[in-house]
Amino acid sequence: MTSAIDPGLDLFAEIDRLKHQRKAVILAHYYQDPDIQDLADHLGDSLELAKRARDTDAEVILFCGVHFMAETAKIVNPGKTVVIPDLDAGCSLADACPADRLRAWKQSHPDHFVVMYINCSAATKAESDLICTSSNAEKIIRSIPVDRPILFGPDKNLGAFLSKKLGRKMDLWPGTCMVHETFSAKKIAALKARHPGAKFIAHPECEDHVLALADYVGSTSKLLEFVQKDAGTQFIVGTEINILHTMHKAAPHKELIPVPYEDRSAACQGCNACPHMKLNTIEKIYLALRDLKPRIEMDETLRVRALKPLQRMLELS
């Protein structure tokens, strides 16, 4: 794919030129490589980026994140051309809960209300009553009448965290984030012992025994805000490593320590980096803007069905 690029090109200048020519906006998640975060027009967590996509008046949305995020942009703003640098940038949570399996789960729990984490496909969203992200999940769950039983998916760790915090029993789908599940409670405890002043801050996609060690739990944007506002000066950051780039810029005098992980596979070269997010590169961003592909295309009936629970979430957020 990248062989089609003239090696003499200044890709950053070309991306800027094409962005203006295409009337494009570049949205990027905090888990993208630092270079990509730096060239984005808007950086954010899943909720902030969904809102940016909904509200933009650009003609093209270049989404530097993973597939379900770009799909969400298309669902909320179908008149735009939505491109993603690499169509294969998926998510282990989205893969864990295909729509047909969610449909079967619902059929065996007909009186339950279905809340799905935004990390799922459009087809899975279309089977849901309400969507949440990690930054609004508590509010979303609180909006559901207490006598209504809940099916929550696909992230069992986020579900268990919410269940415990809100004192609300929920049936959980057994999905996990392949990045956050590698974080090692044993190594975090050892790190805390070595740095007694450090606060451990963690994303709710982490496992329960890891969250039990946390001084603060929140979505990516809430972790970023915490590091900026908290009086502490040293933080062990329990989420995907690339967010450290923006944290360093936002709080240059604070010391940030990446979370230690267990190597669970021979292929793991840094398990606190998301291999899906990593598929996006500067070269692919240039090609996506040049060729306006790969594009997110969606059947209109599916889009309208997926929009309903997303719209309810956006109204509640």
User: Checking DSSP bridges between strand 24-29 and strand 42-44, what pairing results, if any?
Assistant: parallel
What is the three-class DSSP state of 83? strand
Binding flag, residue 133, ligand 13P (CB under 6 A): yes
Asked whether position 219 contacts ligand 13P by CB under 6 A, the answer is: yes
**Span from 12-20, 70-78, 132-140, 287-295 in contact with ligand 13P (CB under 6 A):** 132-140
Side chain identity at 109, as an amino acid letter? H
By the rule CB under 6 A, 32 interacts with ligand 13P = no
Q: What angle do CA 207, 213, 218 make, to 5 degrees?
A: 65
Q: What residues from 262 to 291 belong to the interface with ligand 13P (CB under 6 A)?
A: none
CB closer to ligand SF4 out of 92 and 128 = 92
Backbone dihedral region of 167: left (phi > 0), alpha (psi from -120 to 50 degrees) or beta? left
Residues that bind ligand SF4 (CB under 6 A): 31, 66, 91-93, 119, 177-179, 205, 240, 274, 276-277
Q: CB atoms < 10 A from the CB of 153, how many? A: 27
CA distances, 181 to each of 122, 152, 209, 238 (Å)? 24, 18, 11, 11
Mark the segment that binds ligand 13P (CB under 6 A) among 108-116, 130-138, 290-298, 309-317: 130-138
Location of structure tokens 């899906």? 276
Q: How far is the CB of 314 from ligand 13P (least distance, A)?
A: 14
CB of 46 to ligand 13P, least distance (A): 4
Based on the shown chain and the rule CB under 6 A, indicate whether residue 135 belongs to the binding site for ligand 13P.
Answer: yes
Binding of ligand 13P at residue 119 (CB under 6 A)?
yes
* Residue closer to ligand 13P (CB basis): 15 or 84: 84
Query: Minimum CB separation from ligand SF4 for residue 233, in Å?
Result: 27
Which residue is listed with tokens 């739990």? 217
What is the DSSP code string of 168-183? ---EE--B--TTGGGB
Contact 106, 82 (CB under 8 A): no
The contact set with ligand 13P (CB under 6 A) reads 45-46, 119, 133-135, 177, 205, 219-220
